[in-house]
């Protein structure tokens, strides 16, 4: 019987071995699955925490509000951002930013011929200082454009305090009013002239411009506006801010009259809006847009367009749908009333010649009867400035900068420059129209009640009201969004989450 049992016993033992082997195999598979699942979970957690860490860094300066990409929560104060006090302009030189080279030890003299109107020239002057720094050159006080549409013959010293400009930047760049006569006599050839490509990098200036400067001792850069990239290291960006927001101070004569107009506005109302209306005939013609003036308007603007031989044929409807058309004065008024500004609000109009004159302005006057301009406020004091469009623009600049709310009808040079300055000076409320979304609302406003229209305008303008987080650092034009020069204040008010208490840290620069 034992003989009969042995094979069965062996079979039993073999079965046990197979079962145990199966269990071991199953255990191995289970362990593999468990280990794989754990690794997957860890990877997922790592990915999520990476995103969270990124969001934490972004949240450290963004505040408790939401960005325009997800929409702000709550009601926005139309007069002032409640987060404005969290920030301040910071553009001091770093401890490792070496002092300027002296004139006799520099690589030569850099001459700059700017281009365009006052604010376009301002960008050129600002970038000229930075380029001189990059080249270790002595900067000659820039020449202003006398041949643009405005035909203003003012030189630098007629608009800006030239001595202040030179002295305030003396630690950064050596600046002279002109090339010394003995140096000019010693030159075998006149200064070499060239036009850099738009938004050129520091490497371009070092590789292309510097050898010419060393060889010729003097180099002139022409049509100098937006000829330097937005992407510079932090110290050079801060230098840009020191030039634009501190060194470029208007002459005493301009500052006195500008402040006088501000005081007159303040005497009438404790707060006021400044509206920059770019609605000159040449600007409208250049835009290729149509503004409802019938065949008369089409013919007049088409004639002006003939001045520019290279302008492409544009579809007015397409340009409007793309948000490329400036708002009319009436549309600006509708936008402001829809946002909540009352009929009694005082407004200052900063503008040149308005196409259509008083007839074009009347609908805006009807919406805001407390309507003033430099011509109305200055009277006889304005006469010395009348022949000079850039000096008139400088007066408008001062009043607009001092206003409680600055509003634009397009995103031109003055709008960008002032938007950047107002961010730097404490994020004073700056409203730029979201024309792409507003245009269809204006066209269909008679088909909806006022409450609906107002609600839609408010929704369209979220992200265009001058809130601190409307543009991530490093994005957009630096002159409009000078993120490298804006810091969080050391003391954060009560009510701001602990995450926001970053006490005096500079805004992090995020990569694109």
**Looking at the DSSP assignment, which residues form a beta bridge with residue 289?**
none
Same domain flag for 192 and 265: no
Strand 371-373 and strand 192-194: the pairing is unpaired
228 is a domain residue: yes
Same domain flag for 259 and 228: no
Residue with tokens 């006799």, as numbered in its chain: 104
Same domain flag for 272 and 208: no
239 is a domain residue: no
- In whole angstroms, give the CA distance from residue 435 to residue 327: 7
CATH number at residue 187: 3.40.50.11340
Same domain flag for 228 and 257: no
- In whole angstroms, give the CA distance from residue 101 to residue 115: 27
175 is a domain residue: yes
Question: What pLDDT score does 13 carry?
Answer: 32
246 is a domain residue: no
pTM of the model: 0.82
Question: What pLDDT score does 220 carry?
Answer: 98
Same domain flag for 148 and 272: no
Could you tell me the pLDDT band of residue 147, with boundaries at 50, 70 and 90?
Answer: confident
Domain end point (choices 203, 232, 261): 232
Order of strands across the sheet that contains 109-114: 175-176, 138-140, 109-114, 218-224, 192-194
Residue with tokens 């969001």, as numbered in its chain: 55
41 is a domain residue: no
Same domain flag for 398 and 459: yes
Same domain flag for 269 and 196: no
Domain end point (choices 232, 265, 298): 232
Q: pLDDT tens, 67-78?
A: 343 344 567 899
Same domain flag for 454 and 407: yes
306 is a domain residue: no
Q: Mean pLDDT throughout 346-356?
A: 94
292 is a domain residue: no
Domain end point (choices 177, 201, 232): 232
Domain membership of residue 351 as a residue range: 84-91+252-279+326-500
Same domain flag for 274 and 363: yes
Same domain flag for 205 and 263: no
CATH number at residue 271: 3.40.50.11350
Domains of the chain: total: 2
Q: pLDDT tens, 101-117?
A: 999 999 999 999 999 99
Checking if the pLDDT of 38 tops 80, the result is no
The separation between CA 109 and the C-alpha centre of its own chain, rounded to angstroms, equals 30
Same domain flag for 216 and 340: no
15 is a domain residue: no
Checking if the pLDDT of 398 tops 90, the result is yes
Same domain flag for 216 and 337: no
């Amino acid at each position: 019987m034992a003989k009969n049992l042995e094979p069965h016993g062996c079979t039993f033992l073999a079965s046990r071995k197979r079962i145990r082997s199966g269990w071991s195999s199953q255990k191995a598979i289970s362990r593999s699955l468990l280990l794989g699942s754990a690794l997957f979970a860890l990877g997922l957690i790592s990915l999520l925490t990476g995103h969270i860490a990124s969001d934490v860094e972004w949240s450290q300066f963004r505040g408790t509000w939401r960005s325009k990409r997800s929409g702000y929560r709550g009601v926005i104060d139309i007069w002032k951002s409640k987060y404005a006090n969290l920030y301040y302009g910071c553009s001091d030189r770093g401890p490792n930013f070496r002092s300027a080279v002296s004139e006799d030890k520099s690589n030569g003299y850099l001459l700059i011929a700017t281009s365009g109107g006052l604010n376009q020239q301002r960008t050129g002057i600002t970038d000229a200082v930075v380029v001189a720094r990059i080249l270790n050159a002595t900067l000659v006080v820039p020449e202003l454009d006398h041949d643009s549409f405005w035909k203003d013959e003012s030189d630098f010293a007629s608009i800006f305090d030239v001595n202040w400009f030179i002295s305030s930047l003396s630690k950064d760049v050596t600046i002279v009013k002109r090339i010394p006569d003995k140096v000019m006599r010693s030159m075998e050839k006149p200064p070499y002239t060239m036009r850099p490509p738009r938004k050129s990098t520091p490497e371009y200036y070092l590789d292309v411009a510097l050898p010419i400067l060393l060889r010729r001792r003097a180099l002139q850069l022409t049509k100098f506006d937006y000829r330097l990239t937005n992407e510079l290291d932090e110290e050079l960006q801060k230098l840009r801010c020191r030039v634009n927001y501190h060194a470029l101070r208007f002459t005493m004569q301009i500052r006195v009259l500008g402040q006088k107009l501000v005081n007159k506005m303040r005497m009438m109302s404790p707060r006021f809006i400044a509206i920059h209306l770019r609605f000159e005939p040449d600007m409208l013609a250049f835009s290729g847009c149509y503004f409802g003036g019938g065949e008369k308007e089409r013919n007049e603007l088409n004639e002006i367009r003939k001045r520019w031989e290279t302008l492409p044929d544009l579809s007015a409807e397409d340009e409007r749908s793309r948000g490329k058309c400036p708002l009319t004065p009436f549309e600006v008024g509708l936008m402001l009333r829809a946002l909540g500004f009352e009929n009694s609000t005082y407004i200052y109009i900063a503008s040149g010649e308005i196409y259509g004159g008083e007839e074009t302005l009347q609908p805006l006057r009807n919406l805001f009867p407390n309507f003033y301009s430099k011509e109305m406020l200055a009277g006889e004091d304005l006469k010395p400035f009348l022949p000079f469009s850039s000096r008139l623009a400088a007066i408008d600049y001062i009043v607009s900068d001092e206003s409680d709310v600055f509003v634009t009808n397009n995103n031109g040079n003055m709008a960008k420059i002032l938007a950047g300055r107002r961010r730097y000076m404490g994020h004073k409320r700056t409203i730029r129209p979201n024309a792409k979304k507003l245009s269809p609302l204006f066209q269909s406003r008679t088909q909806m009640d006022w409450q609906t229209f107002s609600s839609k305008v408010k929704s369209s303008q979220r992200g265009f009201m001058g809130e601190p987080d409307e543009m991530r650092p490093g994005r957009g034009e630096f002159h409009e969004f000078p993120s490298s020069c804006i810091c969080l204040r050391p003391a954060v008010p009560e009510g701001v989450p602990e995450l926001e208490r970053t006490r005096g840290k500079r805004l992090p620069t995020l990569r694109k």
